Structures are given as structure tokens and as C-alpha cells.
Chain A
Amino acid sequence: MRMRSLWAIPAAAVLAATVLVTAPAAPRAQETTENPFTTTLDIRMGQRLYQQQCTRCHGQTGDGGELGPALTNGFTSASTDAGLFRIVREGIPNTQMIGISRNATDQSVWMVVSYLNSLNSTPAVDLPGDVAAGRMVFEGKGNCSSCHMVGGEGGRRGPDLTRVGDRRDPDELVSDLRTPDEDLAPRWWTLRVTREDGSVVEGLRMSEDTFTMRIMDENEDLWSFSKSGVRSYERVTSSIMPSVNALLTEDEVEDLVAYLYSLRREET
């Protein structure tokens, strides 16, 4: 069960994606090795080994667990298939990430790499919408860029969408646009804070812990509060983004999806 949202892509994931395209110019020889096992069957075989060896820490579907990070938002410690192979095979020294079973063959490890890649890619498909028109909707009628950045330009009150097409397929994008409250990641909840003097400050929940919380208000100002220093606070778990249903036509939604889906690594 995958429950991630377009509006749920954390900054760290974007950083991870950045790492993917800013790999060192001169990788080690091993990093140039190509994965020989990338068929659909290889991916399924890799998934099987993943489920046996990796789910304890990284979760059944790669969405992360209590012991290990999610593997569905890019990789922070490898930039190539060969780098992934090495980590799966040997682990990451001086950390809790240990290598896969010694009994696993190299072929099996490559299959795991293929499976991990499958968690971080969406198929290249032709969509009915028009990318250029979708961009105009994004920057114009849709008013999307007032909250979302693409390529370093845009607002700050929503997830950076620079490479959203790498991790959200068209159906998911449609769902994100039409029902933004569904599966909203906690990062995009709203905290409504009532201070001791009765005044209210409200903003996106950038982070919250046991004793403190930090928000960004509608002016993109940053606030930090001690929970014991305010009268009360309230979580609002719905999205500040309106549904496009009442705003855009069917064709405009198709165009917008085509544009968002085009925001992929190879086309940036």
C-alpha cells in the first residue's frame, strides 16, 4: 500500500534527486558498470530478495521503517547502479546498513538494484495533454507557481516540483490535483497557534516535536514556538491547496498533468 502524495515530497527527497544528477564527474571504474539484469522478471526476482532481506529496516514497500530510511525518494548514498550494487552487497561502513546475505549471488544483487530503481521511476508514456499549455496553466490560471517552485522559481508554500514526474505517475498526479487532502503528508499540515495574548499565528507545519514547533505563515515568514509558551495549538490535517475541480477545465487538468509529468530528470 503506497500512500504518498504529490504534496508529500519532502525537501530531503529533492536533495536526494539532486545528488542523482550531480554525481562526481569522474566516477570510479566500478560505477560505470551497467546492470545486466533489468527485465520485468529481474525486478520481480529482486523484489523477492528485497522482501526477504531488506524489509526489516526499509519496510515492505520500501517506504521506510523505524530502522531504515525510505528508498522511494531517490538515494542519498549512491548515484549509479554500480554504487547501489556496492551498498546492497557490502553495506555502508560505520553505519547500521549492513550488506545483503553472503549467500546472495551477484545476479541477485543486481536484481535488487533493479527493484530499487523501479521504486524510483515512473514509465515514460504519451499523455493526451499539451506540455506547453500545461505550463501556462501552472504559471497562470492555476496559480500553482505562487506556492510551488520549479527550477528554483516559484513560491515556498508547497513542495518543490522540479522533478515531480520522476516519482508521481499520471494517475497519482490527477489524484493530487483533484483531492489534495487525501494522504496529505504531515509536513503540509497546518498548525494554528494561539499565543498567550490570544493572538493567532497559523502556518504550514515545518516541523513539530514533543516540546516545540516551527511553521511558515502565509507571508512565508518562519516562526518557532515552545508548546509550553503558548495558550493552545491545533493541527489542521487538510491541505491549503484547493482542488482544481472548480478551477480548471478537464482539458486544462490534462495539460497540467502533462506538464507536471514532463518535469523529469532526463528533461531538466
Chain B
Amino acid sequence: MKRLAIVLATALVAAPAAAQESGSGDGPSFSPVTWERLLNAADEPENWLMYSATLDAQRYSRLDQIHNRNVGELELKWAYQIPQLDRAETVPLVVDGVMFITEAPSNVVAVDAATGRQYWRYDHPLPDDLRICCGRNNRGVAILGETLFMSTLDAHLVAIDARTGNLVWDRETADHQAGYSKTAAPLVVKDQVVTGIAGGEYGIRGFIDSYDAASGEQVWRAWTIPGPDHPDNQTWAGDSWRTGGSASWITGAYDPDLDIVYWGTGNPGPDWNGDVRLGDNLYSDSAMALNGTTGQLEWYFQFTPHDVHDWDAIQVPILADLTMDGEERKVMMWANRNAFFYTIDRETGEFLLGKPYAKQTWAVGLDSNGRPIRVPNTAPTPEGTLVSPPVGGGTNWFSPAFSPRTELFYVQAYDGEDIFYKRDEEYVEGDQFTGGGAQRPLPADNYYSAIRAIDPRTGDVRWEYPIQPRSTAGVTATAGDLVFSGSVDGYFYALDAVSGEELWHMNVGRRVHSAAITYAVDGQQYVTIAAGNVVFTFGLRD
């Protein structure tokens, strides 16, 4: 393990009180994060080494010091105020006592994970002509070795020295003036950095990229809309593929045994007027399985062919091995924005089961291949068409979780509706290209939100915990049989992972748009959540 002298020196000269406060006086923080460490991230639960905790994206921690019998003793340990008013969607990483927090618009700060006090910060310079549909968001960094990787709103991927915050390299991945931007945490796969793109409301052509972690050179690009040399291009009428969206604005998962990267894709564009892009619009609203070395498409599964409701398949895929009907299956679990939950064979892409987990009125059901059987007359019209789920979906980008202890899949679900409108629209590069809109007909309080625990073998909802509509917080599960999440009304809370019973809650003052992480420093487990623009860290009473 490499120890940088400057860090060691700092630790040595630290006053006893300070050392005691940080709890790390016995030695320096932070050692390089090798690929082997990332492969085995579950084995070092004291750290949170990637966006979804582990490569299988289960968002599950083996830490159990905080459990379902003592979680009521949680108290605030520290708070870090982000100096921007934008909502924080950050999921921090923790490496050997150092926490890396991303901030709006495209900044990152490193703090002591035990105290929240700052080591360094990196402020990414941005142009003033950004094209972003939905706020100045950043959801987190990835790490390999001693380098952090961050997406930026001007569609760059930057590499930052994890010990100093110095810029290592800066790569433009697409032209921000044409509507491209980047908000999601990248995913490190071996010596590469895999990263998606945003801009589905601007008529972009989506892709998933991989860059060499050391040099920043592009290794491969997988288009999420195939070009005219590929037969699937025929699923787009005329030239509509050129402006078909299909962005990739969330973080995927990786199976090292199969060497497959799993990544979701967003809505076809224009969002609500499908007349100009007749066909299934592959590979929009799909799970794409890409070879982890070459980026070659191994298989795809399209959840919503020819989507006209903006139901992106921008969810984090969760991988697990389950016994189904007596057979060991390598599966991928997916609660989709279209209100259906899916269990899919991740080796082949075979549809195993699918069932609604939230209110939906657009499909009679799924056929034997998982393709939806649509209810007639549910497409947007100029006068408006009432459909469930709403544009925000039964769920959306916020992370679900899976506990291997309970073998339940936990998701933030919403039973809502919207009136969907369609209109004609010309594509203008750099302008929004949506072809319609949506409006909730009644105040949100008329609808229903819940954390739902789904059995991935059947798609059945085992339990639900009702919360105020509509939450946009992710879910995190732990070996303490806890499920942590947040709410629209500014609560951070813990549920019993087995029963769904509420065990603890704390008023954190503003809406939670993030997902919790948990980690440990010097033997003490902490839980961290961003709410509003503040990062809160809780631990058991000393």
C-alpha cells in the first residue's frame, strides 16, 4: 500500500484532540483503489467504493453494527453544507476514511469521513451556454487507483487526483452546444471508465462510452441508436435516428465473470410525438448488455418499444444469482419507469418474468417475451390523454436496492398519473426537442407513494411502507436488516428489511434526491444522506 509522505506527516503532527476527533490518528487515510479492490468491494464494507456500492449494483452493505434493534439510537455526527442552492443528488464515495462528495454544478470535494471537514475541492469551469433539461445535477464520482472520474454538465469526463483535487485529464465526450451533458457517476471496469450521456430532450444521438483510465483516450463507443449500416436502424422511420435521443444518464452494473456491462437507455426523441419516428426505436428504453472489453452489443431487452410517454429505462440494473423454479439463474432485476418490474436472465437477455409494481393503465400486460401489450388510445394527443404511470414513472433514476439476506428488491414506487400532450415540433440543434408535454391533473397529495419490497422470483410485492408522494430518493439495504431511504417531505428514515416496519426517522429539512451510503471509520459505522444541499452523516450514540 502506497502511503504518501505528506499525508503521513499531517497525521504525525496532528494534535491529539484532532486525531481523536477524526478517529484516524493511528495512521494516514486513503490507499490506492485497485481493480481487485473494486472487484471485491463487498469484502471491505467499511468503504463505499462506487456509486452502487458493488459492481453488481445491489446497493447493499455487509455492515451490521447499526441494525434493526439499535437504529433508533442514531444521532447526527456531522453535516457538510454544499455552497450551491441546487438540490444534491450526490452519492459520495468513501475510501479509507476519506469521503468524496460531488456538488452542483460539476464540482467535487474531499472531506474527512469521520468529521466532514475538508481536505480539498475541485471546481470544474463551465461554459455559460449549457443545455440541461432538469437541473444542475451531479450524482457522484468513480475511483481507480488514486484518480477520481467525474462527469460534467458540459459533457466532459474529467480525471482528478484523489489526494489533492488536481486535474489529471479532461476529455470532451460530446458537444454540449448540441444538447449533450453528463450527470451520472461513471463505472470503472478493469482499466477503463465506462460512462453514459444525457440530452434525451435535445434530440441527441445517445451512446455509452469507455475511456482508458490512465490516458483518457476513448476505448470504445456503443451507440444506443444503431447507424444505417445496422439492421436495427430500420426501427426508426427515415432519418429520425439522427435525433432519436436514447440517452444513458445513469450508472450501470458489471458482471466480471461474463465480462458484460449492463446499462439502461432513455426515451426516444421527441419524447411525446412518436409520429415522426415510427418503429420500435431501438435501443431506446432498453437494457443494453455490452462486452466489457470491446463494447460490442451482446444482447438488449427493450422495455417500452416506441415509447411516447418519456419512460426512460434509466434505472440502475441490479445483478444477483437466484434459484428460480429449482434452477440457479444469473439474473438482472429491473423496476422500470413504465411501472413494470422485470427479472431477466443476464447471460442471454431472456425474459423470465414481469409484473406491475405501481399503478399503470397503458398495458394489458406483457407477452411471453416481455413485450408490452398496449391498451388502445393511451398515446398523447393535442387535447391530452390521461395515463398511469405519470411522466416521472412508477419509479425513475433513483437507485433501488437488493438484500441477499432477504432476497427482496426494494424500490421507491409511485402510483400517479399525468395528462400527456402531443404537438408538432421542428428539430433545432441545441434546443429542446420534446414534441409535447405532461401535466399532473391533481395536486400530488391525491396520489400515493411507497417503498415496496418485491420478490424477484415472482414479481409480487411482499410489503410496502407508505410515504408522502412523490419521493425521488434512492434505497439502500444493509446486513443489519435495514432499508434506508428519504422522502419528498424532508425525512431520512430506516425500515425493517424483513417486515417493512418503520424503525427510525429524522427530519433533515429538505427533500431527499439522493441515496444513502454506509461506511465505517475506526470501527464505527456511519450512514450518510444528502438532503436539499446538505450532506448529513449519522452514527450510533457514543
Q: Which residues of A contact B (CB under 8 A)?
A: 1, 3, 51-53, 55-57, 59-61, 63, 65-67, 94-96, 98, 101-103, 183, 185-186, 189, 208-211, 228
Contact = CB atoms under 8 A, between A and B. Distances in A.
Given A52-B434, A210-B491, 13 more contacts: A1-B419, A52-B425, A59-B437, A60-B419, A61-B439, A94-B86, A96-B86, A101-B428, A101-B432, A185-B443, A186-B443, A186-B446, A208-B468
B470 A66 contact: yes
Interface string B182-210: 00000000000000000001000000000
Contacts of A183: 442
B414 to A, nearest CB: 10
A209 B487 contact: yes
A209 B135 contact: no
A55 B468 contact: no
Q: Please indicate which of the listed interface residues A66, A67, A94, A101 has the most CB atoms of chain B within 10 Å of its own CB.
A: A66
Q: Please indicate which of the listed interface residues B84, B129, B438, B443 has the most CB atoms of chain A within 10 Å of its own CB.
A: B443
Contacts of A189: 445
Contact of A52 (B87, B419, B430, B431): B431
A239 B466 CA distance: 25
B487 A96 contact: no
B76 interface: no
18 contacts: A1-B419, A3-B441, A51-B437, A53-B431, A55-B437, A57-B134, A59-B439, A60-B421, A60-B437, A60-B439, A65-B440, A66-B472, A101-B430, A103-B430, A183-B442, A209-B491, A211-B491, A211-B505
A67 B491 CA distance: 19
A96 B431 CA distance: 17
Given A1-B384, A60-B438, A185-B443, A209 B468 contact: yes
A97 to B, nearest CB: 9
A187 B445 CA distance: 9
A67 B134 contact: yes
Interface string B111-145: 00000000000000000011011111000000000
B431 A209 contact: no
Interface string B71-109: 000000000000011110000000000000000000000
Given A60-B437, A94-B85, A95-B86, A102 B419 contact: no
**9 smallest beta-carbon distances between A and B, as pairs:** A209-B489, A55-B437, A186-B445, A96-B135, A60-B439, A60-B437, A210-B467, A210-B468, A101-B431
B423 interface: yes
Contacts of B487: 209-210
A94 B103 CA distance: 12
A103 B431 contact: yes
Nearest to B202: A101
Contacts of B130: 98
Nearest to B466: A210
Interface residues of B, number: 44
B515 to A, nearest CB: 17
A211 B430 CA distance: 44
Contacts, number: 94
Contacts of A186: 443, 445-446
Contacts of B428: 101, 103
A183 B442 CA distance: 8
Nearest to A102: B129
Contact of B439 (A1, A57, A94, A103): A1
A95 B432 contact: no
Nearest to A209: B489
A57 B136 CA distance: 13
Given A1-B419, A209-B490, A98 B438 contact: no
Q: Please indicate which of the listed interface residues B439, B441, B470 has the most CB atoms of chain A within 10 Å of its own CB.
A: B439
A57 B432 CA distance: 13
Contacts of A56: 133-134, 201, 432, 434, 437
B472 to A, nearest CB: 7
Contacts of B86: 94-96
A67 B488 CA distance: 12
Nearest to A96: B135
Contacts of A228: 502
B400 interface: no
Contacts of A209: 468, 487, 489-491
Contacts of A61: 439
Contacts of B419: 1, 60
A1 B381 CA distance: 13
Contacts of B502: 211, 228
B87 A96 contact: yes
A95 B85 contact: yes
Interface in B460-505: 466-468, 470, 472, 487, 489-491, 493, 502, 505
B468 A102 contact: no
B393 to A, nearest CB: 11
A103 B179 CA distance: 12
Given A61-B439, A208-B468, A53 B432 contact: yes
A208 B423 CA distance: 37
B392 interface: yes
Contact of B135 (A59, A67, A101, A185): A67
Contacts of A102: 129, 430
Contacts of B490: 209
A51 B87 CA distance: 24
Nearest to A56: B133
Q: Please indicate which of the listed interface residues A3, A55, A61, A67 has the most CB atoms of chain B within 10 Å of its own CB.
A: A55
A57 B392 CA distance: 11
A1 B136 CA distance: 30
A153 B135 CA distance: 41
A162 B48 CA distance: 54
A262 B446 CA distance: 32
A208 to B, nearest CB: 7
A237 to B, nearest CB: 8
